[in-house]
Amino acid sequence: INSKADCVAAFESYEETKQRITPALETFRAVELFVSEVIAVGIMSQKFILVGLILLCATTATFTRHHIAMRPVMSRLDHYVASTAQLAANGLLLASAVAFRDLAHSDGSKITADVAFIHELWVYGFGVLTIMSAINIFRPAADLTPGGNIGRAGLAIPLYATMTIIAAAFFFFGLGEGNKPNPAALGIHLDKLLDLSDMFLNVGLYVWIGMMLKQTRFASLVLSLFKPWKLPPELLVVLVVILAAIPTAYTGGSGIFVIAAGAVIYHELRAAGTRRQLALAATAMSGSMGVVLRPCLLVVVIAFMNREVTTDQLFGWGVYVFMLSAVMFGFFALTLNRQSKFELASPGQAFPEMLQAFRPLIPYIILSVAVVLFYRYAVNVRLDEFSAARILPVMMLVILIYEHVTKKEAVSEDGKTKIPHKGIETNIRTATNQTTAEIGALLLLIGCTICLGGTIERSGIVETFPAEFSSVWAAMGLLVCVLIVMGMIMEPFGAVILVSQTIAPIAYSAGIDPIHFWMLTLVAFELGYLSPPVALNHLLARQVV
């Protein structure tokens, strides 16, 4: 009897549900299923997309000579030295990828078709990259000066090539633990990128966001707010560096914002009377303070790799670190380095002009808020560190469409002239082309930083640290010095992976609070990015200026 009643109830429920299926509901169901299938395919394909993105964009960066180096190629000798070093580095990466593939197939274990395909992608991708490097040797740019200096030519070698050659020499000649050659090591360490494939795909999206931001008038409009006040250069530098922290956090990292807005910031500061060295320093620092603010991708990577901390904890304390850094920077900039008098314009004169300069910004603010509210209430997605990489490109596209419709004139990169609006297709194409080269240079540098980190890990240097420290302060002092040195020579994302595996356990065992350690790590990295011998942010600032 109970079974019959259950059957009748189930049949009635089915008929009732069937009657509710309207054409509108069927359409909604089809769209929802299609979107979910696309998302599922995207999630399953992240590793393939990342490998393809790295290799395709690296090939583009090689063809356009866009890799990051200590100095640009200016003479024919610079060209031949840099191109030969790239050929050697790419050849070593190819040899390591082949060795890694052979190792994966030789141990008797069965590997999945997906893993086998990724191995082939690495091999053929580095093969194409090596061929492109060989072709580049015989196609020097027409504007290069004859001759050159061998010492300066060495500085023109891309950083990724230098890191690759050092790491390859270490692993190929067996200089690490056990003194056994391991030609597959470079491929093994590069494959670690795929463990964080979604994070590094976000790096590509953030670079695209930054390049689209570069195509808008937003940065120049914000800086125009301060012109009526006739601020002294030092005070203007402080305000610019502090305000730049927000877009830095929303473009994923310090280097991306320097690439996107560095040229505008530099020329606006120079137009305000700022000394060249101070303007260059401010341009490099403009992408520094925001790395501790929500939703910076670097902090998300730290929280993902270290279960001892969460993004909420790091971003919560990051606000205090940001305020402390801003106060200290402002104090030193306005006291020890000041060379101008504080003669501000009168509020009665400056405030109306500032309001006038603010009016063009109102549509940008309204459109940005509208996109955020649309995602919040139509898609039920909040703007946070996990969704920013997907929402911000839409926001930038909406702003570009607005500028296309209104035909707003853009400001040239030298900040001196206005240029006609180029159209949305041209702007998006330009941003995407620039993104391709920047992604190739950046992601390949991240991968080679991980390889260089592997040499540090295998060299036994970390084991020389004391097992116990007399005090927490002594431990923190030593580790901060080490972290600053790492920041001087390594790219941040690769450095975070190395620190998580080697330095962080030492800090935890010494009694250092994980949040305290990672906050100091971020600050130490930023100091390193602004310090020789590499000074990555200064290199990027010079590249765009």
* Residue 274: predicted pLDDT: 83
28 and 74 inside one domain:
no
Query: What are the tens digits of pLDDT across the range 94-137?
Result: 999 999 999 988 866 678 888 899 999 999 999 999 999 999 99
pLDDT of 232 > 80? The answer is yes
226 and 277 inside one domain:
yes
Q: Can you spell out the DSSP letters for 79-112?
A: HHHHHHHHHHHHHHHHHHHHHHHHHHHHSS----
Is residue 521 in a domain? yes
Query: What are the tens digits of pLDDT across the range 395-445?
Result: 999 999 998 888 766 555 555 556 666 778 888 888 888 889 888 888 999
Which phi-psi region, left, alpha or beta, contains residue 252 (left: φ > 0; alpha: ψ -120 to 50)?
left
Is residue 456 in a domain? yes
Average of per-residue pLDDT across 337-360: 84
pLDDT of 338 > 70? The answer is no
301 and 400 inside one domain:
yes
pLDDT of 203 > 60? The answer is yes
101 and 214 inside one domain:
no
Query: What average pLDDT does the chain have?
Result: 86
Range of the structural domain that residue 535 is part of: 435-544
pLDDT of 71 > 60? The answer is yes
pLDDT of 493 > 70? The answer is yes
Query: What are the tens digits of pLDDT across the range 255-264?
Result: 777 877 787 7
95 and 157 inside one domain:
yes
Phi, psi of 411 (to 5 degrees): -100, 135
373 and 519 inside one domain:
no
* Residue 184: predicted pLDDT: 92
169 and 317 inside one domain:
no
Q: How confident is the model at residue 254 (pLDDT cuts 50, 70, 90)?
A: low
168 and 220 inside one domain:
no
Is residue 413 in a domain? yes
Percent of the chain with pLDDT over 90: 34
Distance CA 353, CA 230 (A): 11
Give the helix/strand (H/E) hosting 419.
Answer: strand 418-419
* Residue 24: predicted pLDDT: 83
Distance CA 439, CA 53 (A): 8
* Residue 76: predicted pLDDT: 92
Distance CA 537, CA 447 (A): 18
410 and 268 inside one domain:
yes
pTM of the predicted structure, to 2 decimals: 0.86
Is residue 522 in a domain? yes
Average of per-residue pLDDT across 500-506: 90
Distance CA 361, CA 358 (A): 5
Q: Which of 196, 211, 231 is the last residue of a domain?
A: 196
Q: How confident is the model at residue 306 (pLDDT cuts 50, 70, 90)?
A: very high
191 and 204 inside one domain:
no
Average of per-residue pLDDT across 31-47: 82
- Token pair for residue 514? 């994980």
Q: How many structural domains does the chain have? A: 4
Is residue 395 in a domain? yes
Higher pLDDT, residue 382 or 338:
382
Is residue 430 in a domain? no
ω into 533 cis (within 30 of 0): yes
375 and 289 inside one domain:
yes
Is residue 428 in a domain? no
* Residue 163: predicted pLDDT: 94
* CA quadruple 248, 251, 257, 261: dihedral sign: negative
Number of H helices, E strands in the chain: 25, 2
* Residue 418: predicted pLDDT: 64
* Residue 1: predicted pLDDT: 58
pLDDT of 340 > 70? The answer is no
Is residue 527 in a domain? yes
Identify the CA nearest to 66 among candidates 146, 165, 136. Answer: 136
Q: How confident is the model at residue 147 (pLDDT cuts 50, 70, 90)?
A: confident
473 and 363 inside one domain:
no
Query: What are the tens digits of pLDDT across the range 182-198?
Result: 899 999 999 988 988 88
Distance CA 487, CA 135 (A): 34
